Each structure stands twice: as C-alpha cells, then as structure tokens.
Amino acid sequence: MSDVHATTSTTPDPAAGNRRKGRGELRTRLVIGPAVIVFVGVLYAVDMTWMAERGMRGHLIAGLLGALGLAGVLEYVAMMRAAGFAIAGVLLPVYTGLLVVSPFFFGWHALDRELYPLVIGTLGLLFPIALESLSRRRMQQGLELQGATMLGFLLIAWPMFLAQGMALRHLPSVLWVALVCKGGDIGAYLTGIAIGRRKLIPHVSAGKTVEGAIGSVLASVGLAALLRGPLLEPEVPLTLTGSLVIGIILNVTTQTGDLIESLLKRRCGVKDSSHLLPAHGGVLDLIDSLLFSFPTFFLVLTWLTP
C-alpha cells in the first residue's frame, strides 16, 4: 500500500512577479516624476523672476539643458562602447561640453554668430577623426568611428544647443515645447495601458501601440492649444490654428525621437540608457522625445519673432 502525499507547488508565478514589478515601478515613477517636475519648475520660476531682474533670464534653464545634453552624450558613448562600436569617446564629450557652454556668449535675438558654434564644432570634431580613419590601424573601423561619433553629436548635442538658444531668446517657449511633448508621452502611456491592443512598431519597441500613438497626438494637440495663450502670447504670435498644426508636428517629432532612442538601445542590447533615475532610466531616456522637437520649434520661434 502506498501513501499519497498532497504537495503544494512552490513554483513562482512569472505573471504575478511581473505584476508586482510593474506596480513597484509605477510607485517609483509617481515619486521620481513629480520630483523632477518640481525641480525644473523651481528653476523656471527663479529664471523668470530673480534672474530676469538681473538681465539673465533663461540662464538657469539653459545651463540645465546644457548639462542634460552633456550627460546624454556620455550615456551614448558608454552604450556604444559597451556594444563594441568604434566611437571617439573623448573628443565627442569634449566638443559637446564646448558647444553647450558657448550659448551664453551670444545674444540669440538677431541671429548671426549664434550658429557659428554648430558649424565650427561639427567640423572640429569630424576633421581629426576623419584623418585618424585614414591610418592603417583605424582603416577597418574608420567609417564606423566617424558615423557613430557624428550621430551622437548631431542627435544629442545639436538639439540641446538649440534648446539653450530658445531658452535665452524666449524662455517660456522651452516650457511650452516640453509640456506639449511630455504631455504626449503621458497620453501615449495612459492610452496604451487603458486600450492599447495593436502594436505600433514591435520590432523596435514592443510596448508601444497604435492606440497609444493616437492618444499621444490628442494630448499634445490639446496642450498646444491650451498653453498657447499663457506661455507664448504676445511675444510669439502663434494662432490657434497654428498651435494645432505645430502640436501635431511636435508630436510626430516626439514619437520619432522616442522610437529612434528605442532602436539605439535595442541595437546596443540595453533596456535603459543608464540607471540614473529609478524606473525612468537615464538622461537620454528623459530627453529622447525632445531631440527632434527642440530644433523644430527653434525654427518656428525664429520665424515668428524678430
């Protein structure tokens, strides 16, 4: 006669673990996100008041944008090196640092010499690594060295430099763009959780859905129209129709920047650009949706204002 013993399975439930992890990340996001918003809000308020009274409006936010640009480039270099790509790991951060310091030496109103640093920095960075690529030692990876290095400079350093210029020309424009773009990010996240079913581009980002993309557009357009009056008028004469159109354009650039960074991370085999912000990732994860949006609105701003 054999005894039959009832046993209780101790096999962990992967689905339950994922749910707990998701709830933990959401709680962390609910703490980190508002803290970042409060920090930036305080800087913006001081910039609009105390700094403005001293004829230095925009300098604090421009400094923050420059620091984010340099940090994003450092994360980019670390990711690319870890993935085995040839990249100018010293020259790229050095030229980025020089670029994001240079906006404070210009006026940013009647644009002239303000754009010189972009041209000088790009040629100054490209020329030495192009020469290095001609050597026998570097010949096999020369094109990769140039391409990976210049991608980081153009994709991260350029947009943050132009964002600094926006801050020094018309500070509220930076806040308007950031709110329109980040509002689109939040709209995509919430809509995707609520009703997201159809994958947008699963081979690049498995979490993004068509429904989330539509929710993102609607959120950006709504914020663009709602915040136009308080933040842009009367210095930036953008009409209601214009704000709706620009809202759509900015959302397209927002989602594109997010997807491009997702592609970069997938190619480098990482989930986040760094672990600086718990549940958020790194600086590059924070600014990816702004990398195409800042240059886009910089052109609009310089067109609409003297």
pLDDT of 9 reads: 45
Percentage of the chain lying above the pLDDT 70 cut = 90
pLDDT of 10 reads: 52
Q: What is the pLDDT of residues 242-276, one digit of tens each?
A: 999 999 999 999 999 999 999 999 999 999 999 88
Contact 141, 156 (CB under 8 A): no
Mind giving me the DSSP string for 109-134?
A: SS-SGGGHHHHHHHHHHHHHHHHHHT
- Write down the pTM of the prediction: 0.90
pLDDT of 23 reads: 58
Check pLDDT > 50 for residue 2: no
Contact 71, 132 (CB under 8 A): no
Q: What torsion, rounded to 10 degrees, do the Cα atoms 38, 41, 46, 52 define?
A: 170
Q: What is the pLDDT of residues 90-142, one digit of tens each?
A: 999 999 999 999 999 999 998 989 999 999 999 999 999 999 888 877 777 88
Instruction: Read off the pLDDT of each residue in 11-29 and give the average, rounded to a whole number.
Output: 55
Question: What span, in angstroms and rounded, lies between the C-alpha atoms of 200 and 46?
Answer: 40
Backbone φ and ψ of 199, nearest 5°: -70, 140
